[in-house]
Amino acid sequence: MRYRSTRLLTLTLAMSVGACTTVGPDYERPEVETGSGWIDREVGEASFVDMETWWTSLQDEELSRLMDEAMTAAPEVRIAEARRTRAAALVRRAGANLRPSAQVSADATAERQSLDANPAIGAFEGLERDQATFAIGAAASWELDLFGGGRRSREAAFYRYQAADELVRDANVSVALELARLYFAMRASQQVKTHREAIVTLRTEALFLTQLRFAEGYSSRVELETAREALADAEAELAAVSNDPRTAAMAIATLLGKPPEAELALLEDAPDLPDIAPPPRYPQADLVRRRPDVRAAERELAANVAGIGVVTAELFPEVSLTGGAGFRSLDLGNLMSEPSTFLSLGGLFSWRLFDSGRIRAEIDVAEADAEIALLAYEAAVVAALGEAETSFALFQTTSLQRNARERSLHSVIARREMAEERYNQGDTDRLNYLELRSAEIESRVDLIEAREALWKAAVSLYSTLGGGWMQNDL
């Protein structure tokens, strides 16, 4: 009997080595159509590093500090990192399932047996009703991965870990985009508020002068009411923007996972930010390998392809090896003696021959999941290209608007300087000068708003091209 058991174990091991294979399709990264080139735009050259921390080119210490903090402290990033940690644990678990497992045990049992159920108790010497059993031993088991189901499971877990890693980078891009928008809105609103306050001051002086002229009969009632209306409008416009800087600063703190008041100190300064240079136009194929959301979709596709092999392996036999050894005795004093030893070796062979097509149906489901993942990946590529084209167009439009506002401001400044010179020479009154000074400040507000729109368009362009994360080749 022992000879036959040994032969069975040897045969099982031989079959394990000889039949070891991996079922299911091997993943190959699909080729996707990225078009013939950007629409009416040339391709530039620059290092990917230039895109990773694009905000440093602004040389704004506060913005750089906020970005560094956001990359680790923002709740959105931390959630993505926690999901990556979970995915890494699943990879380790899938790998552990491929290896043997072992355990040690020790037990002691005291038992009083039923005389009615076992009348032989007491009839033979040494067979007592009250007995104690002591045992200590070790057991091991190993489910052989003959057809690669376990290896495919580990592949799928690893690919999903890579997808989770890319989603951390995608969270970095998203947080960098939102933080930059809020920061630029805060700085722009600070400057707009200052200019609106200046306009109220000018309108107040203009109303005072108009009242004096009206009292002396040099101005009409219409001119007086027009001056009052202009001041009221200026005060209303100031009120509309007076809380914008504070609101933006509180939103920045919330984005970083802090109490709303945590970043109000940002309002103590109001630097004028330079314009952001547009990123180079990389070839469209580079966009596919830079965008973390696209890369995550491609890794999910790889995981779903591996999942086909996981299910396919269930069509084939399963073989498990088990073994155990230790000591078992009715007398604790004799537990570690040679007569108390025990040893067991075994193997289990099972093959599901009929299950009403359940496994075949699960394979169909896995293949459909892979097809869905492929379509999602292709859709992510198309969406990325579309977003990039839209961002390019928006940046170009806002650049033109900013340039036009600059030309308009130069013209207003020239008119104001001429009026100021005439006023100093006594050729025109102060009301005319104040009106042109107000027009100049209004033009400056328009330029600030145009520059803010350009800043946001540039940030959006960097983000759609995958900027704001560290390069990691798959």
**What does the DSSP assignment read for 7-29?**
HHHHHHHHHHHHH----SPPP-P
Q: What is the pLDDT of residue 464?
A: 86
Range with lowest mean pLDDT among 21-25, 89-93, 109-113, 207-211 = 109-113
Q: What is the pLDDT of residue 7?
A: 37
pLDDT over 90 at 167, yes or no: yes
Percent of the chain with pLDDT over 90: 59
Q: What is the pLDDT of residue 187?
A: 95
Q: What is the pLDDT of residue 122?
A: 63
Q: What is the pLDDT of residues 76-92, one digit of tens each?
A: 999 999 999 999 999 99
Q: What are the phi and psi torsion angles at 77 (to 5°)?
A: -70, -40
Q: What is the pLDDT of residue 128?
A: 73
CA 74 – CA 263 distance, rounded (Å):
14
pLDDT over 60 at 10, yes or no: no
For 38-67, letters b (16+ CB in 10 Å) and e give beeeeeeeeeeeebebbbeebebebbeebb
Q: What are the phi and psi torsion angles at 341 (to 5°)?
A: -75, 150
Q: Check if the beta carbon of residue 421 is closer than 8 Å to that of residue 436.
A: no
Q: Check if the beta carbon of residue 319 is closer than 8 Å to that of residue 347.
A: yes
Q: Check if the beta carbon of residue 14 is closer than 8 Å to that of residue 319.
A: no
pLDDT over 80 at 158, yes or no: yes
Range with lowest mean pLDDT among 4-8, 54-58, 179-183 = 4-8
Beta strands in 296-381 (DSSP E): 318-329, 341-350
CA 397 – CA 129 distance, rounded (Å):
96
Neighbours of 439 (CB within 10 A): 17
Q: Check if the beta carbon of residue 457 is closer than 8 Å to that of residue 170.
A: no
Q: Give the residue with greater pLDDT, 327 vs 130.
A: 327
Strand-pairing partners, residue 421, are: none
Q: Check if the beta carbon of residue 241 is closer than 8 Å to that of residue 192.
A: yes
pLDDT over 80 at 459, yes or no: yes
| Burial (0-12, 13-18, 19+ Cβ within 10 Å), 36 | exposed
Q: What is the pLDDT of residue 336?
A: 85
Q: What is the pLDDT of residues 285-326, one digit of tens each?
A: 777 778 899 999 999 999 999 999 999 999 999 999 999 999
CA 437 – CA 443 distance, rounded (Å):
10
Q: What is the pLDDT of residues 378-426, one digit of tens each?
A: 999 999 988 888 888 898 899 999 999 999 999 999 998 998 888 888 7
Q: Give the residue with greater pLDDT, 281 vs 26.
A: 26
CA 236 – CA 240 distance, rounded (Å):
6
Range with lowest mean pLDDT among 31-35, 143-147, 306-310, 322-326 = 31-35
DSSP state of 139: E
Q: What is the pLDDT of residue 437?
A: 93
Q: What structural domains and CATH numbers belong to the chain?
A: 24-108+130-464 (1.20.1600.10)
Q: Which two tokens stand for residue 171?
A: 């969270």
Q: Check if the beta carbon of residue 357 is closer than 8 Å to that of residue 168.
A: no
Q: Check if the beta carbon of residue 188 is closer than 8 Å to that of residue 247.
A: no
- Give this prediction's pTM: 0.83
Q: What is the pLDDT of residue 38?
A: 66
Q: What is the pLDDT of residue 388?
A: 86
Q: What is the pLDDT of residue 468?
A: 58
